[in-house]
Amino acid sequence: MGRVVLVTGVSRLVGGMTCRALAADESLDRVIAIDTVPPLHSLGRADFIRADIRNPIMGKILAQEKVDTVLHLGVIMTPKQAGGRTLQKEINVIGTMQLLAACQKADSVERLVVKSSSSVYGCSPRDPAMFTEDMSARRNPTGGFGRDSVEVETYVRGLARRRPDIDVTMLRMANLVGPGLRTTFSEYFSLPVLPVPLGFDGRFQVLHINDAVAVLQRAAKADGLSGTINVAGSGMLTIRQAARIAGKPFVPVLPQSGAVVQQLGGMLGGSGAFDAEQMQFLQFGRGMDTTRMRTMLDFTPEHSTTSAFRDVLGAPGRKNANLGEARV
């Protein structure tokens, strides 16, 4: 029996690249691409269906096409991508609820893979050195993409309880970096001068977009795989190490000045690239244990945190600089 895979969010970069990679896999019988607008990039042999995951039509698509595997990559990372924070939340949360409801009713669905984010762990001075998948945030995200991700995961766990016959996998990915990929994280490092909280130097991990696509492709085909898995490149960097690799000067700011810095962001970078909610991340950073990624998925990213950052955000002449990595 052929495999039929449905991928949401294909008009954006990660969704489009993942859909194209799956379409090139001859072991899959068919790949169906879903989004509200036609993508500008090629999806290979995938069949594109223009549809909104918030619409009940998703149930008909799953049933008629006999979809057995769903990759939900339609969670939007920044308000700019959605056309505003209100629409971003509606697509992320309400859209996910409707898609999961359609999956619950579809007898053909056997596997669900959801792209989640390390942002669910929040940022706090009480955080562990490394979060494992069984740990919860010491301080929950208060808004934006992080809060949406927490709500999305709650609804996904609900589906897993109601349909234990579906293999449900959530991939909590570190900050993604890649050519042409614009996120709050990448836009911060696009500023000509980086605001850094006075007295702090947060640690972080990143995941190269090529590795993100590879791990999504593997999860889509992993029979019997279920649960939550952290995904990140090996090693860590600190904000100041990253600033040196990016060739950017940084200026110390008071940790309480996030809102003020955000207002000045447009003056600094011309795009309002700084988000006040980033300040806690810049202070305390975040680390994830990736043991499950290597054992359950048998996956090791090709790029480490440092090599991925250098490849995408490193300044010319500094991409090969030996600055080391932060160690726990």
Q: For 92-104, how does the pLDDT look when each residue is reduced to its tens digit (9 = 90+)?
A: 999 999 999 999 9
> What six digits make up the tokens of 69?
């595997």
Write the CA distances from 232 to 60, 206, 236, integer angstroms: 36, 6, 10
β-bridge partners, 208: 177
Q: Which band of pLDDT confidence, cut at 50, 70 and 90, is reported for residue 270?
A: very low
Helix (H) and strand (E) counts in the chain = 13, 13
Q: Token digits for 246?
A: 């990016």
Q: For 103-118, what is each residue's pLDDT tens digit?
A: 999 999 999 999 999 9
The residue ranges of DSSP E strands in the chain, in sequence order, are 4-8, 30-35, 47-50, 69-72, 111-117, 167-173, 175-177, 194-197, 203-204, 206-208, 227-231, 237-238, 250-253
Tell which wins on pLDDT, 188 or 82. 188
Q: Residue 276 has what pLDDT?
A: 62
Percent of the chain past pLDDT 70, that is, above it, reads: 88
- Over residues 189-209, the mean pLDDT reads 94
Closest CA to 114 of 159, 69, 168, 77: 168
Higher-pLDDT residue of 151, 82: 151
The SS3 assignment for 229 reads strand
Residue count of the chain? 328
Residues 239, 194: Cα–Cα separation, whole Å = 9
Write down the mean pLDDT value for the chain. 90
Inform me whether the pLDDT recorded for 84 exceeds 90.
Answer: no
Paired residues of 250 in beta bridges: 194
| Confidence check: pLDDT of 326 > 50 | no
Tokens 């600089």 sit on residue: 321
pLDDT for 275 equals 63
Dmax of the chain from CA atoms? 60
Query: pLDDT-derived band of residue 264, with 50, 70 and 90 as boundaries?
Result: low
Query: Residue 199 has what DSSP assignment?
Result: T
> Cα dihedral sign for 53, 57, 59, 64?
negative
Per-residue pLDDT of 32-58, as tens digits, reads 999 999 999 999 999 999 999 999 999
